[in-house]
Amino acid sequence: MRKELTLGLFGFGCVGQGLYHVLEESAGVKASIKKICVKHRDKPRPLPQELFTYDRAEVLDDPAIDVVVELIDDAEAAYDIVKSALQKGKHVVTANKKMLAEHLEEIYDLQQKHQRSVLYEGAVCGSIPILRNLEEYYDNDLIKSIEGIFNGSTNYILTKVFEEGKTYPEALATAQQLGFAESDPRLDVQGFDAKYKLVIAIAHTYGLFISPDDVINIGIDRISDLDLKYARENHLHIKLIARAIKIGNRVYGFVIPQYISDSSPFAAIRNEYNAVSVEGAFAEKQLFVGKGAGSYPTGSAVLSDISALSYDYAYEYKRHHRDHGVEFSNDLSVGVCVSFKHGAPVSLRDFENFESGYAADGREYMIGQATLSTLRRWQEHEDIGIILKPDAAFVPVSRPSESAKAGSYAA
Amino acid sequence: MRKELTLGLFGFGCVGQGLYHVLEESAGVKASIKKICVKHRDKPRPLPQELFTYDRAEVLDDPAIDVVVELIDDAEAAYDIVKSALQKGKHVVTANKKMLAEHLEEIYDLQQKHQRSVLYEGAVCGSIPILRNLEEYYDNDLIKSIEGIFNGSTNYILTKVFEEGKTYPEALATAQQLGFAESDPRLDVQGFDAKYKLVIAIAHTYGLFISPDDVINIGIDRISDLDLKYARENHLHIKLIARAIKIGNRVYGFVIPQYISDSSPFAAIRNEYNAVSVEGAFAEKQLFVGKGAGSYPTGSAVLSDISALSYDYAYEYKRHHRDHGVEFSNDLSVGVCVSFKHGAPVSLRDFENFESGYAADGREYMIGQATLSTLRRWQEHEDIGIILKPDAAFVPVSRPSESAKAGSYAA
């Protein structure tokens, strides 16, 4: 009943090697790796040389290969591989979040056109089966929000900085040694990686294909020592939270660090663990926790996708077909705590609703509601710290042409 | 592509009414309730009288009804309804864990025989999609353990007792008022409800159909004030933990209260929330948290099953077909803390490995490794407190015919 699958891999780094070992130990999945296409001829490989090729055609043009598993770093090259594989009638499993976030609508179209499946559970929060649950289990529920810790390396860094008093560069270096951090650490620490995952999650939660450029991402690299001191004095953690919320017919999405109180379930999510909280209208909040990075957790998610292909599974993108009249918007104000040196371009007038301000240790703090476009303007100055309040309210901002507000959402 | 479904309900209590409302609000699921079979003629009903019937044949013999949704209390009557529905070519959705735990193998056989599907996500941990994930997502992973807080009302009671200093009867009464507790509270507080769910989870985790009678369940009703005092003094919580672990080719399962340290993810699971931790060989520990009881969370899980039927979903019981040579066993010793009054039949010789003992406030305490059969013997005396250690080790006990041990598992 289940098909035996023949796999062709692109890339054999951390996740590829994890997949290889997981596959060897999993009796249930009948899949074998026929060929692995890699870039560097001179790297030592832990497997027999005849398994490797440097010519992509040896994988893409081999009619015996049913499934292409794409695990390379370069997003544009990856997209090219995915496109070719679909055109040649192969299914695809990929964990490349940047490629997916930038090309999701095209990949959706290509799947329809070629009647082949692209699965990518490993791209969003590693071992947590969030896409499968959004597609299959929550398909009937009206989802109010999806939010969480989507990036393992920044969470690892923040955990080490908070719990072990490490400096930021020390913690980053350890994360990279352990294989959690991307080769370009800016993708992690500036929130791009979390944003790509959020863009993919939004497609499966709200049926919207949006460009990553439309989503604001503020990183943890602008968290100052004084922000850390403020957090410690107030028994708060700081976590990089990716979040999408639906208010009325609008979906808002953003990646911004947030002060987190001890009572939040996110406070207990440490090191490279990820967490996703899904708030349904009826099932209420559900939390999924698991390792978000590392070769085995991600390899395991990739293998689950391969396994799903053995019984012809494909994402249905049900909400994309159903939810009409829902649109993505950035017209939102958020409860934020801004810290900056005297002279930085932050003023009382920037706030929709100013709550309090004070100066300490040569730095000024202002707390209140500010719009996402104000946050984008502040973000241009890298010494302005931008961290959401623990109980941040999210309030739609009317555009001039509108009068009524659609309600609000509290974190 | 998706079928429109016509539903016949049995029972219209807490979950049935929750389902009705959830269904009304969910645009995505094309399903309508044609008839609701109830028992009591004189109960006021919130819906038009013509929707109700007192004759089960009006549902079971109606060829227009595709799906029977069974939500009654009585396990034997429920089994009878499920059997008849399958015989008459209808699919079934049920949340009756006692019925399922006692008849799962027969229900499996009936599904094969009649080629109809029985889904029961709502039976195990309310809104948490654990069965679907075990069936679909973890199907390739080698699961080391599945454990968690499977019963919302005992967790609610323990939370209130610990956090608000309520007495046990006060906390139980509130749980019943809120609709969390079963009509017979012994099912909850003595661990039967959690055990039924564990038996169902074991079928989908390890492919074994076992009788609930073979699984030891020790309740929270024998937790004494001194046990609570001990927990508070040592900064511990007490949670009722259901657990199945695989060591070598044996699966062990039991429901026993456990002292839980602050660093355990279970410590943060409060009130009626449930949590399930799945430990895979590769994906490592994954935690699922959600409301385990209440009309909307369970109604929402039931609706997810109905929705799955609209695209012909059926459990494949993949591990039942695959895992040969795996057997259920009770030959295990566990790290336990026993409390009792002087004169109770507990002695040093009961322990495989005795660690420490002391006497305080007229009660004696002994800590060490004891076998599950010793726990069963102690359980016959209701004033013996039996609570697992926070870091309890689980060690297989060789039967006389065996020599080698297969390893052990630490909580």
Q: Which residue has the tokens 């015996």?
A: A64
Please identify, among B123, B151, B185, the residue that sits at the C-terminal boundary of a domain.
B123
Chain B residues with at least one Cβ partner in A under 8 Å: 18, 22, 25-29, 121, 127-129, 132-133, 136-142, 265, 268, 280-291, 296-297, 299-301, 303-304, 307-308, 318, 322
CA-based nearest distance B228→chain A, Å: 23
pLDDT in tens, B155-165: 999 999 998 88
Task: Compute the nearest-CA separation of B317 from chain A (Å).
Answer: 12
Q: Domain containing B26 — which CATH number? A: 3.40.50.720
Q: Which residue of A has its CA nearest to B288?
A: A288
Tell which of B282, B309, B316 to mutate to test the A interface (max A CBs under 10 Å): B282
Per-residue model confidence (pLDDT) at position A395: 97
The residue among A241, A316, A239 whose CA lies nearest residue A277 is: A241
> Beta partners for B309?
none
A100 and A144 share one domain: no
Highest mean pLDDT out of A366-375, B129-138, B229-238 = A366-375
Band (B136; pLDDT cuts 50, 70, 90): confident
**Assigned token pair, B195:** 């055990």
- Look at B113 and A41; give whichever has higher pLDDT: B113
Q: For the domain that residue B211 is a member of, what is the CATH number?
A: 3.30.360.10
DSSP code for A28:
S
Q: Which residues of A touch B139 (CB under 8 A)?
A: 28, 304, 307
Per the domain annotation, does A302 fall within a domain?
A: no
Which residues are CB-neighbours of A255 under 8 A, at least 6 positions away? A150, A191, A194, A195, A198, A215, A216, A217, A218, A240, A241, A242, A243
ipTM, 2 dp:
0.82
Q: Which one of A28, A136, A280 has the shortest CB-CB distance to B132?
A: A136
pLDDT tens digits along B300-319: 899 999 999 988 899 999 88
HSE value, Cβ hemisphere, 13 Å, CA-based, for A120:
26
Residue A301 lies in a domain: no
d(CA B142, CA B134): 11
- pLDDT tens-digit profile, chain A (411 residues): 578 999 999 999 988 998 998 888 877 788 999 999 999 888 888 889 999 999 999 999 999 999 999 999 899 999 999 999 999 999 999 999 999 999 999 999 999 999 999 999 999 998 899 999 998 888 766 899 999 999 999 999 999 999 888 888 888 888 888 777 766 788 999 999 999 999 999 999 999 999 999 999 999 999 988 889 889 999 999 999 999 999 999 999 999 999 999 888 899 899 999 999 999 888 788 999 999 877 888 888 999 999 999 888 999 998 887 756 899 999 999 999 999 998 899 999 999 999 999 998 888 999 999 999 999 999 999 889 999 999 999 999 986 555 444 566 766
Count CA atoms within 13 Å of residue B283 on its CB side. Answer: 35
Q: Are residues A142 and A99 in the same domain?
A: no
Please tell me whether residue A246 adopts helix, strand or coil conformation: strand
| Total domains present in chain B | 3
CA distance A133 to A32: 27
**In degrees, to the nearest 5, what angle opens at C-alpha A294 toward C-alphas A293 and A297?**
80
**Hey, of A19, A24, A134, A137, which one would you mutate to test binding to chain B, going by the most B CBs within 10 A of its CB?**
A137
Q: Is B157 helix (H, G, I), strand (E, B) or coil?
A: helix
Mean model confidence pLDDT for chain B: 91
The confidence score (pLDDT) of residue B403 equals 47
Pick the last residue of a domain from B123, B146, B163: B123
- In a shared domain, residues A61 and A157: no
Spatial distance between the Cα atoms of A103 and A396, rounded to a whole number of angstroms = 28
Same domain? A245 vs A201: yes
- Residue B340, domain extent: 332-410
Interval B319-359: pLDDT, tens: 887 756 899 999 999 999 999 998 899 999 999 999 999 99
Which of chain B's residues have a Cβ under 8 Å away from the Cβ of A296? Answer: 282-284
And the tokens for B221?
């009703």
Query: Do A101 and A134 lie in a common domain?
Result: no
For residue A64, give the amino acid letter.
A
Residues of A with catalytic annotation? 197
List the beta bridge partners of residue A36: A9, A52
Tell me, yes or no, whether B14 and B135 share the same domain. no
Helices and strands (H and E) in chain A: how many: 13, 19
* Mean pLDDT, residues B239-246 taken together: 97
Asked whether residue A316 is domain-assigned, the answer is: no
Q: Which residues of A touch B (CB under 8 A)?
A: 18, 22, 25-29, 121, 127-129, 132-133, 136-142, 265, 268, 280-291, 296-297, 299-301, 303-304, 307-308, 318, 322
Domain boundary among A300, A328, A356: A328
Same domain, yes or no: B320 and B368: no
Answer whether residue B301 is part of any domain: no
Identify whether residues A45 and A135 lie together within a single domain. no
Please check whether residue A351 lies inside any domain of the structure. yes
If asked whether residues A211 and A339 sit together in one domain, one would say no
Residues B245 and B320 in one domain: yes
Whether residue B146 sits in one domain with residue B170: yes
* Position B216 in a domain: yes
The answer to whether residue B295 sits within a structural domain is no
Q: Is A152 inside a domain boundary?
A: yes
Q: What is the pLDDT of residue A141?
A: 67
Residues B140 and B101 in one domain: no
The nearest alpha carbon in chain B to A293 belongs to B283
Q: How many whole angstroms separate alpha carbon B146 and alpha carbon A130?
A: 19
Cβ neighbours of residue A109 under 8 Å, at least 6 residues apart? none
DSSP B387: E
